[in-house]
A and B are shown apart, each in its own frame.
Chain A
Amino acid sequence: MFDKLILSHNLGTTGDKAVVYDEKGHIISSWLSLYRVIYNEGNEVEQDPNDWWRAVCESTRKVMRGINEKSIAVVTFSGQMMGCLCLDKAGDPIGNAIIWADMRSAKESLQLSSQIDEKLFFHITGHKMSASYTLSKLIWIMNHRPDQFAKTSKIVQAKDYIVYRLTGSIVTDYSDASGTNLFNLTKREWSRTLTSIIGISPKLLPEAIPSTEIAGHVTLEASIATGLLPGTPVVIGAGDGICAAIGGGCTTDEDAYLYYGSSAWIGMTKKSPYWEPAMRTFNWAFIQPDQISPCGTMQAAGSSLDWMKDELAREEVNQAEIQRTNPQHLIEMLVSQSPPGANGLLFLPYLMGERSPYWNPQARGALLGLKKNTRRADVFRACYEGVALNLKIIWEAFKPINKANQLVVIGGQANSDINKHIIADTFGIPVVSHNHLKDSKNFGAAIIGGMGIGMYEDAHVVKTLLHYERIIQPVAEHVEFYNRLLPLYEDVYQDLVGYYQKLEQFTNPTEVPHA
């Protein structure tokens, strides 16, 4: 008799993390295998799908050391979303995958917006039209790589490709499908309106199935590559946005979570889509047909703080090396020395443009309100607060559907107490984190995998498997302060919008059109 273990992969942007869990959700072992991100001129960001596969093979072998392969009851996936990978008839990749961060198709996205009403589009797909998504990337390929497009037989997401390599079947799940800008959210099928507008056959898109469904079983060939037993069931899993929701224990109408990693998002789980009037937020399909995960994602959250550490806090980084401590610790000691409001300093965290709440790729970051008596501590605190205030705008956008009385914070930044305090104070809500902060996506995928093989009855099981930590309460006086600060924070972005536009024209003068 073997243990029933779950092998859960999270195919992220920088690497594949494999985690083996037991039935109680305990981590038995984990391994991270890194791969390349290929940045090219013109906001092009690509990855080689063969790198993904190599990383999955490596991490699987590494994570399985000392574990009997017969004890793996299921393999399951969380994956980066919104990419575009073209496969030919033989199922081989045609070129690299264009990943979510790639913004080359800004023009295509703009062009598309003249072809369909944006409200209608929002109601079909649950999302705004944007160069971030698969659709606009695909149009770019049709326009610029017609040969590649002519050979294309299927368009898939990262985890779908890996599942295909493991099982030989090409499918996707509802959640990843809902991140393509091509999927009809409420009907749970590819949108005929959209495929006909851009003129592609719906056959190019893989069948979308519930995230908990078994896509197939490990083939002999895949077994040799990975060391898994042939015939091991593979559950398709979900996009990382959805896996994080489950990993965050967000399974009911009363839940809300904040994923705070490089990017950050606020998500909920609801019975129906949230048609936010200003379209600041969007909707993922949840793992099964009757649930939706409304979500708002900002681009540079933890990345803003990492950028600040690398460029502005060299002294702390050097000091940390000498003291053999974490630079974040030294930075946060300073952050706590500056009062709420950072002595009048505001940081706009638009270091990668912005998705929610503004959907403006031209937006840039700013540090505003410098005075002669502005100190280093103020600069650092402003960065922390700037990210939190931007998230607060997204939080406010959810107000009509928000029933949460506490917020679960997960992701790498959930380690930081000061960050959780600032979130609690800006949002005005108790904040809590749990024991699966750093593996929340893997953990969510594991629940999905366990459901797929009947190990768990439903996603609510997650609440019994998580161990919640101490609740951080908001400080009333700070909440009141941040409420007053928020309009100022929103106003300064509005004041800069026109300027960002002019700057864009200055730095990227429009090409002279050909006669």
Chain B
Amino acid sequence: MKRYILAHDLGTSGNKATLFDETGALVTSRVTPYQMHVFNTNWAEQDPEIWWKAVCSSSQEVLATIDPSNVSAVAFSGQMMACLPVDRDGKPLHNALLYCDQRSTEQEQHFIEKLGFDRIYSITGHRPSSSYSLTKLLWIKEHRPAVYEKTFKVLQAKDYMNYLLTGEYATDYNDASGTNAFDLSTLDWSNEILEAMGIPRDLFPRAYPSSTVIGHVQRKASAMTGIPEGTPVIVGAGDGGCASLGAGSVSFGKPYLYMGSSSWVSIASKKPLSGPEKIGFTWAHPVAGLYQPCATMQTAGGSLSWFAQTYLGNSDGKTLDGINDQARTAERGSHGLFFLPYLLGERSPWWSTKAKGAFVGLDLSTTFADHCRAVLEGIAMNQKLNITEMLSMTEDRQVMFIGGGALNQYLRQIMADVLGCEIAIPRFLTEATSMGAALLGGVGSGLYEDFSMIEAMNPIKQLVKPNQENVGYYEDLTQRFAQLYRSLEPWFRQ
């Protein structure tokens, strides 16, 4: 008999429901889009009601293609770092403040003053920032006291969906580690932080391993979603964590690179990052017992499409191919031309909102082809800086490459040469988060034996070996790249 996992990927632009069968094959999927409400320059909210409506309609649509009683489990991948206060009856008291909402910068300052930057990083694995849930909650406490007073729980997006399905308040280690209030070493809410900031710890739901069954679909929710009553609900994980699973990073080591408009590198490790430069940050891994160090850059594919648009007037696939063709004709190192891909400032490795993009090293013999190659090399070298500490944790030198950017054949080779690693391209490049959720659902419900199931779900299709004579060259070049940024840092700050 066919069995299915219903995986939801609850993002900021829509919810995607996907069915996977017992062999791990992707059966069908539906996306229900919704909007983000951005206002006051940098405030960003969503009404949780639109999430739920999207979950209901997309569930019904995919379940219409099968016998719903064959669904073994439901599991979510969810957008992270949000702040949704609900009352004692589970009713939202305010729109959810999303990860990109930056209104709580004053609270961030206060947070840092209270506990110290380094201390917060060592407890939570993350830099203190207004991006995370805690300072958003502090903002609500200060500016919306009536809301705060009635707040019974503070939830992440997927946790609220799980609550509506099961009536249970719960979260998972991975999502909890994106709040700036979770202690990575104890895998529990940090007393030190919560006490210092005057937040009662029972405002946060209990955190579980990501593959835990936290309840079953209740009658009312069943009627709305079409998921049979009693179907097990697995707590799931944040989308960052689920992407790791989908990229096959399910056991120690296994570095991978995601590249869409932004890009990150990540790995499964036994301990959090601890480098003094704090280039990256660390999530609790959805596979219990592991950590997930991560470093993320703002504009990777975004740099490439910007370059295509600005320099060639178009950013379609044909134009991007044209850029690759040009880049192929340029020599490695682009004739001394460097591109700094900081078009939106940068997170890892520099953590500067002031950083800007640049082409440096022009002379009269610099060609357009050099520009094309410099853009690709600049993106790759930034990720080389980001992945270095992670690679020091493992012997693995094969990096899985996922996301839309991995479609770029030429970039695969540049990445291999610059990172000095073999690049592995899996069958599905843009389904990682749904697959990660499905994997948690399958493992949690017993349909899949263990996490290695991902190898069947998303097998490797191509391996790209680094050109050994370029590896040392790019190691050196990456040092120049870093020096260039440091030289310009004082200027960016002006």
Contact = CB atoms under 8 A, between A and B. Distances in A.
A370 B494 contact: no
Interface string B448-484: 0000000000000000000000000000100010011
A164 B362 CA distance: 41
B360 A368 contact: yes
A498 B361 contact: no
A16 B480 CA distance: 43
Contacts of A507: 336
Contact of A368 (B306, B356, B364, B368): B356
B319 to A, nearest CB: 11
Nearest to B485: A499
Interface string B280-301: 0000000000000000000100
Contact of B311 (A312, A366, A506): A312
B344 interface: yes
Interface in A366-420: 366-372, 374-376, 379
A344 B311 CA distance: 17
Main secondary structure of the interface of A (DSSP, over half): helix
Contact of A371 (B357, B362, B487): B357
Contacts of B488: 368, 492, 495-496
A506 B480 contact: yes
A364 B311 contact: no
Given A372-B306, A495-B490, A366 B361 contact: yes
Contact of B366 (A351, A379, A499): A351
A325 to B, nearest CB: 18
A492 B494 CA distance: 10
B356 A491 contact: no
B313 A315 contact: yes
A495 B357 contact: no
Interface string B345-374: 000000000001111111110111001000
Contacts of B358: 366-370
A374 B361 contact: no
A496 B360 contact: yes
Contacts of B357: 369-371, 374
A372 B343 contact: yes
**Which of A365, A372, A379, A503 has its CB near the most chain B CB atoms (within 10 A)?**
A372
Interface string A487-515: 01001100110110011001100000000
B361 A300 contact: no
A300 B487 CA distance: 24
Contact of B487 (A350, A375, A495): A495
Nearest to A369: B356
B494 A371 contact: no
Interface string A305-317: 0010001101100
Nearest to B367: A311
B313 A376 contact: yes
Nearest to A300: B364
B311 A376 contact: yes
A352 interface: yes
B318 to A, nearest CB: 15
Given A371-B356, A374-B343, A374-B357, A365 B313 contact: no
B360 A366 contact: yes
A473 interface: no
A376 B307 CA distance: 10
Contact of A503 (B302, B311, B336): B336
A365 B487 contact: no
Nearest to A499: B487
Contacts of B484: 499
A159 B254 CA distance: 70
Contacts of A506: 476, 480
A371 B344 contact: yes
- Interface size range on A against B: 35 or more
B483 A502 contact: yes
Contacts of A369: 356-358
**Which of A351, A365, A374 has its CB near the most chain B CB atoms (within 10 A)?**
A365
Nearest to B369: A311
Contacts of B476: 506
Given A365-B362, A366-B358, A371-B357, A503 B480 contact: yes
Contacts of A300: 364
A83 B76 CA distance: 75
Contact of B491 (A303, A372, A375, A491): A491
Contacts of A496: 360, 487-488
Given A311-B368, A491-B491, A492-B491, A371 B363 contact: no
Given A366-B358, A368-B356, A491-B491, A374 B310 contact: yes
A379 B312 CA distance: 12
Given A312-B368, A499-B487, A502-B480, A366 B312 contact: no
A272 to B, nearest CB: 36
A292 B59 CA distance: 86
Contact of B362 (A315, A364, A492): A364
Interface in B328-343: 336, 340, 342-343
Contacts of B480: 502-503, 506
A364 B368 contact: no
Contacts of B367: 311
Contacts of A307: 362, 364, 366
A374 B344 CA distance: 11
Contacts of A303: 364
B315 to A, nearest CB: 12
Nearest to B494: A488
Interface in A324-349: 344
A75 B342 CA distance: 58
A365 B306 CA distance: 21
A352 B367 CA distance: 14
Contacts of A372: 299, 302, 306, 343-344
Nearest to A371: B343
Contacts of B344: 371-372
Contacts of A492: 488, 491
A358 to B, nearest CB: 15
A371 B344 CA distance: 6
Contacts of B340: 370
Contacts of B360: 364-368, 496, 499
A370 B309 CA distance: 13
A351 B361 CA distance: 8
B459 to A, nearest CB: 36
**Which of A366, A369, A376, A506 has its CB near the most chain B CB atoms (within 10 A)?**
A366
B364 A495 contact: no
A31 B357 CA distance: 46
Nearest to B345: A371
Nearest to B335: A507
Contacts of B494: 488, 491
Nearest to B359: A367
A359 B432 CA distance: 54
Given A506-B476, A507-B336, A365 B371 contact: no
Contacts of B299: 372
B50 to A, nearest CB: 27
Nearest to B356: A369
B487 A366 contact: no
Given A496-B487, A498-B487, A503-B361, A311 B371 contact: yes
Contacts of A503: 336, 361, 480
A174 B364 CA distance: 32
A263 B475 CA distance: 37
Given A311-B368, A369-B357, A503-B336, A351 B310 contact: no
Given A364-B360, A491-B491, A495-B487, 16 more contacts: A307-B362, A314-B368, A351-B366, A352-B363, A366-B359, A366-B361, A367-B359, A368-B491, A370-B340, A371-B356, A372-B302, A374-B306, A374-B343, A492-B491, A496-B488, A503-B336
Q: Which 3 residue pairs are nearest across A and B when measured between Cβ atoms?
A: A370-B357, A365-B362, A366-B360
18 contacts: A300-B364, A307-B364, A311-B371, A312-B368, A344-B356, A352-B364, A364-B361, A366-B358, A368-B360, A370-B340, A370-B357, A371-B356, A372-B344, A374-B306, A375-B310, A492-B488, A492-B491, A495-B488
